[in-house]
DNA sequence: CGTGTAATAGATAGAACGCTCTAGCGTAGC
DNA sequence: GCTACGCTAGAGCGTTCTATCTATTACACG
């Protein structure tokens, strides 16, 4: 088999959860989209929908983080990297007719008060994103504590703008938020004592 | 009757949607929480769950906006107003055990690709928030276009931080985002030509 | 007092839900 | 060639979902 059944289930789950959320997606819809027999689902995920959800959060969240890191790696510096991050997100959300924004934000909000394993999975993914971006900002010369704050701020801007862009069907919020993130980081770097 | 049946339905719907989202909340749970007979629900909302959802978005979103405006009104200036907005949100989310953040963000993400009436309701609520904050920033001397941008940025910071605070069970993201919003607005005001 | 309308009340239909179950298939190892 | 086992395959369980239906009660108005 080219790509395994388990991977197809996780991939289909990720896409569907991203667009319609966790509660809005049925297991039958997942097995249909993944072209997988129903029994296989409970073979690979004996913990049922909740286990599948938690794993889908980690996988999709990890992939999204890798995508972000790839964009940052391909950029000459952190400022243009963040700029590319937001402009790439803006293009992606437009191209998907305002469906594909953050793959785990909807699910995270849905389950954070009802499923502890899934809430924790989301929290760990978010912490990973924070740590990645913090490290890059620190490498650019910003002190550790401030780098963490800027990472949280940058990703808050992205996530919040995603909500508005999806609801208003306009990429403008993401673009505006991106400009703000760039401005904040530039400001911080300019205040650095030495380089 | 002190408070009407329709109001009780909308109030209960708002609370439940805020915590568990739209798809995660059943109509039976709503009528139970509102202490209302099932038949009354379809009497007041013949359009079913979708109509109820759209109206709940407008009501809850409107109330949340009014709460924000009240905080801004009670503050001496726009900068301390925004500061109070975020610190109030941080306290509220902690007090509710990280359940009560934005009343419509979860629903907005859930339905923005599946229910056009509800998506539109959310979009209108968001646009109202943007316009309110933009107007206040413009009154403080910031030019209209830039005021709109700062409004979108400030609310993106709030919404994004809400996601992280709920998932990580910590008010820190909201506090960090608040400090960033304050910093951006202060910076803009300092660059104003004259006062 | 009689009548029409708004609202209450809840049983129930029909579909979809998550999940369990058993049976069959394919292949690796002895 | 046979057994053991990972995986496929899908019928069907009980429950819950949204929505509809009929009946009853409360009340305003002529």
CB distance A156–B160 less than 8 Å?
A: yes
Residue B1: the pLDDT is 43
CB distance A153–B180 less than 8 Å?
A: yes
DSSP single-letter state for residue B37? -
- Kindly list the distances between the CA atom of residue A78 and the CA atoms of A65, A143, B88, in Å, as whole numbers in the listed order: 16, 15, 33
* Shortest CA distance from B109: residue in chain A: A106
Backbone angles phi, psi at B7, to 5 degrees: -65, -40
* Shortest CA distance from B113: residue in chain A: A99
Whole-number percent of chain A with pLDDT over 90: 95
Q: Are A178 and A80 in contact (CB under 8 A)?
A: no
Name the residue with the least CA to C1' distance from nucleotide C21.
Answer: A39
Name the residue with the least CA to C1' distance from nucleotide D17.
Answer: B26
| Rg of chain B on CA atoms, in Å | 18
Q: Are A20 and B18 in contact (CB under 8 A)?
A: no
Q: What is the rounded distance in angstroms from the CA atom of residue B153 to the CA atom of residue B176?
A: 14
A37 touches strand C (CB under 7 A): no
Across all residues in chain B, what is the average pLDDT?
96
No. of H helices and E strands in chain B?
9, 0
Of A41, A34, A44, which is closest to residue A14 (Cα–Cα)? A34
Residue B132 CA distance to nucleotide D28 C1' (Å): 42
Q: What is the rounded distance in angstroms from the CA atom of residue A112 to the CA atom of residue A108?
A: 6
**Chain A residues with beta carbon closer than 8 angstroms to that of B167:** 108, 112, 119, 122-123, 126
Which strand C bases fall within 7 angstroms of a protein CB? Answer: 7-12, 16-23
Per-residue pLDDT tens listing for chain B (195 residues): 458 899 999 999 999 999 999 999 999 999 999 999 999 999 999 999 999 999 999 999 999 999 999 999 999 999 999 999 999 999 999 999 999 999 999 999 999 999 999 999 999 999 999 999 999 999 999 999 999 999 999 999 999 999 999 999 999 999 999 999 999 999 999 988 765
Q: Is B45 helix (H, G, I), strand (E, B) or coil?
A: coil
Centre a 10 Å sphere on the Cβ of residue A140 and count the other Cβ atoms it contains. Answer: 18
- Chain A within 8 Å of B51 (Cβ-Cβ)? no
* Shortest CA distance from A116: residue in chain B: B167
Residue B36 CA distance to nucleotide D29 C1' (Å): 28
């Amino acid at each position: 088999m080219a790509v395994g059944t388990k991977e197809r289930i996780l991939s289909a789950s990720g896409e569907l959860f991203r667009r319609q959320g966790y509660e809005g997606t049925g297991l039958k819809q997942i097995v249909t989209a993944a072209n997988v027999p129903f029994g296989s689902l409970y073979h690979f995920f004996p913990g049922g929908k909740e286990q599948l959800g938690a794993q889908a959060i980690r996988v999709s969240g990890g992939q999204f983080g890798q995508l972000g890191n790839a964009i940052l790696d391909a950029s000459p510096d952190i400022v243009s990297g963040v700029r590319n991050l937001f402009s790439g997100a803006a293009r992606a959300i437009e191209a998907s007719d305002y469906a594909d924004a953050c793959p785990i934000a909807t699910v995270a909000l849905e389950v954070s008060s009802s499923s502890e394993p899934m809430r924790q999975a989301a929290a760990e993914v978010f912490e990973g994103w924070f740590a990645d971006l913090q490290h890059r900002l620190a490498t650019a010369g910003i002190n550790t504590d401030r780098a963490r704050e800027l990472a949280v701020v940058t990703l808050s801007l992205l996530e919040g703008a995603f909500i508005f862009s999806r609801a208003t069907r306009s990429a403008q919020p993401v673009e505006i938020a991106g400009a703000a993130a760039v401005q904040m980081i530039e400001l911080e770097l300019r205040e650095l004592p030495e380089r």
